[in-house]
Structure 1
Amino acid sequence: MLPIKLENIKLNQQYKNREDYFKKMGEQLFSAGLVNEGYSTSIINREEIYPTGLATGEINIAIPHTDYQFSRTTDIFITVLKTPIAFFRMDEPEKTVEVSIIVQILFDNPEKQPDILKELMEIITNQRVLKEMIAAQEPKEVLQHFQINN
């Protein structure tokens, strides 16, 4: 079962670039007590070494995450962007992809990671679902796509 809460879905968000996204999201997560000190630095550094952008078709996504030691929970945060931002590609790290949806994952236990990623991939590689997420007016419209498999 994917740990997605309605309040973790943000629509029509705007960021200058991926670093701006990571810093602002990291501050929010830290203020909420969901991550430990150093989370923002860790996720930015990890993204440099292991990029998370996926060229999935017309609508592209990123699935950033970092080491479980920085998280106090297992949670998924979905951000639908107003304007795409560049992420380096997972499969071709020297190239970038314009990402419209960011699915950020927090893990507090490394054993949860493979199952969550597997379940997520089935949903987020479906272009029809991604288009519906981009068109969503309310977070509950996005959430319904993740509850189908729950």
Structure 2
Amino acid sequence: ELAPRGYIAEGWLNAVRTREDAYPTGLAMPAANIAIPHTDPGFVAKPYIAVVKPAAPVTFNAMAGMGAPVPAQIVINLGIAEPGGQVEALQALMNIFMDTDAAADVLGQTTPQGMVDAIRRHF
């Protein structure tokens, strides 16, 4: 979905996989398990946040090697175009999934637009 819309550059998928192998992003949060894979800004043609709610949880290794693998209920791919810009976005996303009501709002969405709206409400 991202490539045809001009959001990512050549080599993006391999770059995401390589970074995830080196720096896993699975987070077992109090209200929901999430993963926030991303890559260097050089692979981002224009900024985006892509949210995926898989039919079944997808297992990611735990961030910073802290704990068991994480069955992510939501996968949020950050396309941050500015170096160092991930930190602020990561903190905002983590805050959503530490809040039981905000996480329930996001997890309860059944349409793509509903998911976008829920993330924006709490971001």
TM-score interval, smaller chain: 0.7 to 0.9
For this pair of structures, how many residues does the alignment match? 123
**For 2:61 and 2:33, how far apart are their aligned partners in 1?**
12
More contact order relative to length (CA 8 Å, sep ≥ 6): 1
Question: Is contact 2:31-2:103 (8 Å) kept?
Answer: no
Ranges in structure 1 where 5+ consecutive residues have no aligned partner: 1-27
Q: Evaluate the alpha carbon distance shift between residue 146 and residue 132 of structure 1 in structure 2; reply closer, same or farther with a 3 A threshold.
A: closer
Query: Please, what TM-score do these two structures have when normalized by structure 2?
Result: 0.85
Please give the per-residue CA displacement for 1:124-145, whole angstroms capped at 9, x wherever unaligned. Answer: 3223322332221233433333
What's the Cα RMSD here?
Answer: 2.1
Q: Indicate conservation of the 8 Å contact 1:54/1:91, yes or no.
A: no
Give the TM-score, by structure 1 length: 0.71
Q: Note if contact 2:30-2:97 (Cα within 8 Å) is conserved in structure 1.
A: no
1:85 aligns with 2:25: no
Distance 2:102 2:61 in 1: 23
TM-superposition CA deviations, 1:73-131 (whole Å, max 9, x none): 11101111110011000042673111110111001111432222222222132233223
The reply on whether 1:57 has 2:34 as its aligned counterpart is no
**Higher normalized strand content (fraction of residues):** 1
Query: Aligned with 2:50: secondary structure?
Result: strand
4+ residue stretches of structure 1 with deviation over 4 A? none
2:47–2:81 contact (8 Å) kept in structure 1: yes
Pairwise mapping of residues 95-106 of structure 1 onto structure 2 (< 5 A)?
95-106=68-79
Q: Percent of pairs identical after alignment?
A: 28
Residues 91, 33 of structure 1: alpha-carbon distance in 2 compared, 3 angstrom cutoff = same
Aligned residue type for 1:62: A
Query: Which runs of 5 or more structure 2 residues have no equivalent in the other structure?
Result: none
Partner of 1:71: 44
Task: State whether residues 56 and 127 of structure 1, in contact with CA within 8 Å, keep that contact through their aligned partners in structure 2.
Answer: no
Distance (Å, rounded) in 2 between the aligned partners of 1:30 and 1:144: 23
d(CA) in 1 for partners of 2:62 and 2:17? 14
In structure 1, what is the Cα distance between the partners aligned to 2:31 and 2:98? 11
